[in-house]
Amino acid sequence: MTTTDHVLDTDSARKWFMLALGMLAQTSGAVFINGAAFLIPALHEDRGLSLPSAGLLVAMPTVGIMLTLIAWGMLVDRIGERLVLTLGLSLTAAASFAAYFTSSFEMLGLCLLIGGMSAASANSASGRVVVGWFPPQRRGLAMGIRQMSVPLGVAIAALSIPPIARDHGVAAALLVPAVICALAAVLCLAVVDPPRPTRADAAERGLLENPYRASSQLWRIHSTSILLVVPQYVVWTYALVWLMTDREWSAASAGILVTVTQVLGAFGRMGVGALSDRVGSRMRPLRWVAISTTVSMLALAVTDWLDSPISIALLVVASIVTVAPNGLAFTAVAEFSGSYWSGRALGVQNTGQYIAASLVPPAFGALAAVSFPLAFLVSAVFPALSVPVIPEDHESNE
């Protein structure tokens, strides 16, 4: 093996190591942020909270994350990924550990809020790690693999949090994300910030200019993602409750099915990312996914209204397709905004998504209390509206 070959092998190995660390960071944050939804059965049945009230409480992590995403993104643009990931995940772990000692809903909500504010660090920083280390022709696949982190985090939470909450209490269940985030914070100390041009070089190439002023591309991607996140969070938040109350499944059986669907959804993200590399477009596959999401949520609503067992299979389908678009939009935002704006642009991207996501649990909790088919039907409207908003592909700002 020549020296050049050795360097290439080393660089390739480093890319995949960075991807693994980015995945770990995002997975640990997802266990905390999305795992809160799996506290709803214990809060509703054991602690006596109504579905809208329980939905409001478990929305606190998404409220917290939307408050700090842009700030974390600005910090990433300034000081890099390694310090941001380490600090943010450490604070998330601390908030999760603090929740173990809470005795009131108010203090639990505060811990969930602070943990969400801290976990926001993983969203922009871990995405930047992947986009910075992989070339454009491999970036869709790499980001698709990285985006597997969120459904994998949800799967871990679905498998562990409901039984712990049932047997040991709501606060004890939050020890799961506490341990995972603490481990991720330690390992993220090894993250090497991805290469990027110096500020002088970036200024010469126009990479320091505000990409939002150049075109409506970023705003349209943000708007599309906000619309597509609604059915995703409807399924994530209420699939477990629907299986247990409407379908009369046990908590263990429902948790296993949700876990399986999240794992399948993770591979779906990877597949869509690879497809975008193959077709040379992020937006065309995004449009296909939006149409598929509309159809699957409509079918779920109809079959649930008819009390058909097919609705369970359609829940699995909906769980897969609703999570598929995130990686495509995330990659497109990072590519178009460039090295010195991607932290902020990704922060704006996720802020919009989490504003919508924080409204889903209480709003659709009220709809689900009336009728689950109605909740599924209303959620299908949003991806249908996103189809004409999706922009065409444009040259990246790198």
DSSP secondary structure letter of residue 282: S
pLDDT of residue 255: 83
pLDDT at 4: 38
Token pair of 301 as six digits:
């609503």
- pLDDT per position in the chain (398 positions), as tens? 444 343 344 467 788 888 888 889 989 999 998 888 888 877 776 666 777 778 788 888 888 888 898 899 888 888 878 889 999 999 999 999 998 888 788 888 899 999 999 998 988 777 777 777 887 778 888 888 887 787 788 888 888 888 888 888 888 888 999 999 999 999 988 776 666 666 667 666 666 677 888 778 899 999 999 999 999 989 888 888 899 888 888 888 888 898 888 788 878 888 888 899 888 888 999 999 999 999 999 999 999 999 898 999 999 999 999 988 888 888 888 888 877 777 888 888 888 887 887 788 888 888 888 889 999 999 999 999 999 999 987 655 55
Distance in angstroms (rounded) separating the CA atoms of residues 122 and 90: 11
pTM assigned to the model:
0.75
Domains and CATH numbers, the chain: 10-193+208-389 (1.20.1250.20)
Q: Using alpha carbons, select from 146, 121, 128 the residue that is nearest to residue 65.
A: 121
**Separation of alpha carbons 30 and 154, rounded Å:** 6
The closest of 229, 240, 227, 230 to 51, measured between CA atoms, is 240
> Token pair for residue 210?
């505000």
Query: What does DSSP assign to residue 281?
Result: -
Cα 268 to Cα 318: distance, rounded to the nearest angstrom: 11
Residues 6 or more apart from 17 whose CB is under 8 A from it?
none
One-letter amino acid at 215 equals S
Q: Measured at the alpha carbon of residue 173, what is the angle toward residues 170 and 176, in degrees to the nearest 5?
A: 160
Instruction: Pick the closest to residue 358 from 119, 124, 32, 37 (CA basis).
Output: 37
Residue 292 CB neighbours (<10 A)? 18
Residue 248: which residues within 8 A CB-CB, separation 6 or more? none
Rounded to whole angstroms, the Cα distance separating 299 from 297 reads: 5
| Residue 243: count of CB within 10 angstroms of its CB | 20
Helix axes 105-119 and 81-99, enclosed angle (nearest 10) = 170
Angle, in degrees to the nearest 10, between helices 121-133 and 81-99:
150
Burial degree of 78 (CB within 10 A; 0-12, 13-18, 19+): exposed
Structure tokens at 211: 């990409």
- Give the N- to C-terminal CA distance of the chain in Å, as an integer: 33
